[in-house]
Structure 1
Amino acid sequence: MAIRPLVILPDRKLRLVSEPVGPITDEVKALAADMLETMYDAPGIGLAAIQIGVPKRIVVIDLAKNPEERSPMVLVDPEITWISEEKRVHEEGCLSIPEYYEEVERPDRIRVRYRDLAGETVETEADGILATCIQHEVDHLNGVLFVDYLSRLKRSRVLKKFEKAAKRESEDA
């Protein structure tokens, strides 16, 4: 397992639509392990493969706050098959948009179908923070960021902030 570097806004990779994973190989399992280690190190509660530069449809999630209570989920080729009409507002952040948080409204409950690392198809319902996290990470697989749900003004401000930071960093390099 290895901690991989995170892709940070405004990197264009974050706008790529990720490709299906295909067969569950040792390489896919190693990628999932690296993703979990990277997510825990950050620290975060979810990570899509594109956030470490791999355009594959794989997501890892773990809502546990305490390392002793970890309960990692690996979703391979996840697909949201149903969303509730009821909405929920939750403050979201993103490891690819560090130290920026904003309230986002999303469906409160969802149904998701995915494959686990054994290759088995799983279909489950989620609500609350888990539903929010799954939607956030599946959005990444489709090139969508949580800031895309903000007003045009807020989105413009955060994009400019990260573009300036990236420019400064490249000038210092």
Structure 2
Amino acid sequence: MAILPILVAPHPVLKQKCEPVTDVTDDIRQLLDDMLATMYDAPGVGLAAPQVGVSKRILVVDCAPRDADPQPMKLINPEILAASDDLSTYEEGCLSFPDQYADVKRPARVTVRYLDENGTQQEIEADGLLATCIQHEIDHLDGIVFVDHLSTVKRGIIMRKLQKLMRGKDRAAAAE
């Protein structure tokens, strides 16, 4: 398994709508494994293919507590079939927005249909952190990032902080 580079906002790939996977091949399965390795290495609880520069409708999540056994999920062509009217708020972050966090309201429960790594259709009902994580990653597949759910002011603050952080990293790399 390879650790893939994670794109950082405002990279244009992060704002593109992804293409569906037409055939679950060994290359797709390898990408899923590489994405999981990348997510765990980061560390994160979810990762969508566009975050690693691949415009395909693929995501991985693992919301298990760090001290528990991993519970990785690999979702191909996920779609939300139903969402609850009641909302929950989580402080979200994103591997494409390093060290940036904000409260985001989303449906508390969702029903999701997807293909697994064998190309078999699956359906799950998710709530809590898993529901939030899956919705966050599906947003990525539609070219939506978590700051798009924030007010213009909050989004601007996060984007300025991110630009400042990235300039600092660029300067540190140049000094080495």
Distance 1:156-1:9 versus aligned 2 partners, 3 A rule: same
Alignment of 1:1-173 (within 5 A): 1-66=1-66, 69-166=69-166, 173=174
| Cα distance between partner residues in 2 of 1:51 and 1:3 | 13
| Structure 2: gaps spanning 5 or more residues | none
- Deviation string, structure 1 residues 61-119 (Cα, Å, up to 9, x no partner): 01123366011100000001111100001111101101111111100011100000111
CA contact (8 A) 1:10 1:162 kept: no
Q: TM-score, normalised by structure 2?
A: 0.92
| Structure 1: gaps spanning 5 or more residues | none
| Cα distance between partner residues in 2 of 1:164 and 1:34 | 29
Q: In the comparison of the two structures, how many residue pairs are matched?
A: 173
The offset of 1:160, in angstroms, is 2.3
The offset of 1:145, in angstroms, is 0.7
- Deviation string, structure 1 residues 9-42 (Cα, Å, up to 9, x no partner): 1211110111111111000000000000000000
Which stretch of structure 1 is more off in the superposition, 161-170 or 44-53?
161-170
Q: State the Cα RMSD in Å.
A: 1.6
| Cα distance between partner residues in 1 of 2:100 and 2:87 | 22
One-letter amino acid of the structure 2 residue matched with residue 123 of structure 1 = E
| Cα distance between partner residues in 2 of 1:100 and 1:39 | 17
Q: TM-score, normalised by structure 1?
A: 0.94
The offset of 1:164, in angstroms, is 4.1
| Cα distance between partner residues in 1 of 2:170 and 2:30 | 31
Percent of aligned pairs sharing the same letter: 50
